Structure 1
Amino acid sequence: MDLHYSDEDLAFRDQVRAFLDSHLPKDLQAKVLKHLRLSKDDFVRWHRILAERGWVAPGWPAEFGGPGWTPLQRHIFEEECARAGTPRIMPFGIDMVAPVIMAFGSQQQKDYFLPRILSCEDWWCQGYSEPGAGSDLASLKTTAVRATDAEGEHYIVNGQKTWTTLAQHADMIFCLVRTDTSVRKQEGISFLLVDMHAPGVTVRPIIMLDEDHEVNEVFFDNVRVPLANLVGEENRGWTYAKYLLGHERTGIAAVGRSKRELAFLKRLARREQKNGRPLLEDPLFAAKVAELEIELMALEMTVLRVLAKAGKAPGPEASVLKVRGTDIQQALTELMLEAAGPMALPFDAAYLEGEHAHSSGGDDDAAPLASYYFNYRKTSIYGGSNEIQRGIITQMILGL
């Protein structure tokens, strides 16, 4: 593909920049650029601003309410949003379950769920991982058993999901459940859409090292799910799960955000140190930054090549993007800590909440970095651990 921007692409970039300059709330921008925590209201507010413009689902075709952009336009939009410092659009609805519903769902599911995802009327979360079924996802034990009563056919769901991101906010969860125990484990899994407000659903928080409540355990105790909420065919859920994970892994690369964080790292490292010289003038540190920047440029070219496969679902190359993208993200946070030095040590939860921003160490740039560093240790695990991704690359791409 041609990796140079055409005049039309440059005009589109200018259009996006003008929109972000005029519509991105300054308080949201400040939170993002200062690495502060965002609330559900923050995410929903930005989602609805984009939805009103018709830009909240860059990858959706026009027939489902998307803008119908080219792969390069989607890349430009995501890069400009990252550069400007917008909140992320939560991927669970827009980028994960929606493509599955579009590809495999019934017309009723498309008509009902897709507009609610666009409007953010429903906040979604992902019910994949379980205790004992993380990287070996096909070992999941949550069951869904068909039952019939006066109200018709439905499933009764029992089991547990864990590490469920932002489930405390969710209205719906897309779940992998076991519907047949007599066949090979990958062949007995189905894909269900479950109401998080249904009787029998319990959410229990997992509080992380930085005192944030980002992930949860979700328990299902005889939860009744309408048969109409089965996506596709029963026992074909593993196929749909792999389709979804391809979209998730492509998005995890997050090139635009890494480019923004690289600029932040350089600014941090240009500050004068106690010896009177900026750390970026140290040859060893400068070499680390330069190597990381080269890796990021190579990743961006690879992302563009994958996106150029217009109309095709992401294949095993998504695993390459996931591995390299998360490696780069983690390396960035490591160099940020190195650049901040001792000023990254103080931890102040009140500062991270952003209500009355202050830092116990007196350095607003450095105050959130320890929390940021620890949070990014998980990126090489979620979406399928990087070890699993390397196995996929070895088998599916290298043919070994």
Structure 2
Amino acid sequence: MADLFADDTPKAVPDNAPRPLADRLRPKTLSEVIGQDQVLGPDAPLGVMLASGSLSSLIFWGPPGVGKTTIARLLAQETDLHFVQISAIFTGVPDLKKVFEAAKIRRQNGQGTLLFVDEIHRFNKAQQDGFLPHMEDGTILLVGATTENPSFELNAAVLSRAQVLVLERLSTTELEKLAQRAETELAKSLPLDTAARAALLEMADGDGRALLNLIEQIAAWKTDAALNSEQLSKRLMKRAAKYDKSGEEHYNLISALHKSVRGSDPDAALYWFARMLEGGEDPRFLARRITRMAVEDIGLADPQAQSVCLQGWETYERLGSPEGELALAQALVYLALAPKSNAIYTAYKDARRMARKTGSQMPPKHILNAPTGLMKDQGYGAGYAYDHDAEDGFSGQNYFPEDMERPALYAPVERGFERDLQKRVAYFNKLRAKRQDET
């Protein structure tokens, strides 16, 4: 690693040396970058910074193949900063010290350094802290790149000194522009019919570098006629969808699944359910989350929903994969189409908050047991009305602490079975008011 930092200027490559297509098509200016208008546009963060001549430290957060390294290199070019690139995977503390020392010497000679750190989230806390003094005194302008959520993976101190910019997957339109640029560079059209070309763009899954690598393979094929999508799929393996069972994508997809159910969209719910299964998610995790949806978002609007989920879960445990996953899908669709209510969930949270606030207050004495004479003398159980002896089987007595104003926690919605429960709540409230007037 020592030689890497002794001279971080790239060595000249002979003109006739083979270069991958992705390298040959690397943009020469920021205006040539395809996509990422949300950060590069005139009114976007980088556009404004460059126009004002004031570039701050940055964290690029986005999936692979969307231009993080290229944009960082072009930013150095646009601002006359010396570009140094390292990877957190291969760089240790001694290597970092050499980078910082070289940057200090460069600064003394009147030139700044843009330090691009790929996979910056792989540095531990101590290593990340090592950047801070050099960022603060202007020795380096840090541009970090990460595929992981910076909120979870980067120190708060680093985040407070850098602006996080989100780079997005390339759209189909942007991938098509990249494909056309590749065809110009190769001086030939891809031997694909319209459907196969669309399938190729889909295979890239928003990753520009992956698309160029696929195009380079296709361009080398010897074929007399345009290939269709079936022929293309036989020759190329589709990229695995991005999914990390313990990372950002895990939480993104389970959120999408839950909100699709809450939004009563069975088609979207099935899609995200399938996406997670295809990514290797544990069906038992999905069974737990589906059951949670029943109690959180449906509740007593459909009391049967929870049983359907538990039955689906039990069926999965008996059948296993892949047959048992159909039972979970069945429960999922049931939930999506069930009437929705979070009345119980809301009432429960309100009750917990109220319990924390009034946790030391005693129940009213009339509902306390009095197993001893002393307790009877203290008034325990005095005046308790046995509901079964009361008119309508309802005494209307107060069951909250005596100094506490009666709250209204459970508010059934006008949907599903809770429509009937709403009538019962109103009925008992009316009787309670009547009993209070009578006393």
After TM superposition, the score normalised by the length of structure 1 is: 0.24
After TM superposition, the score normalised by the length of structure 2 is: 0.22
Which structure has greater strand proportion? 1
Q: Which has the higher contact order (CA 8 A, sep 6+)?
A: 1
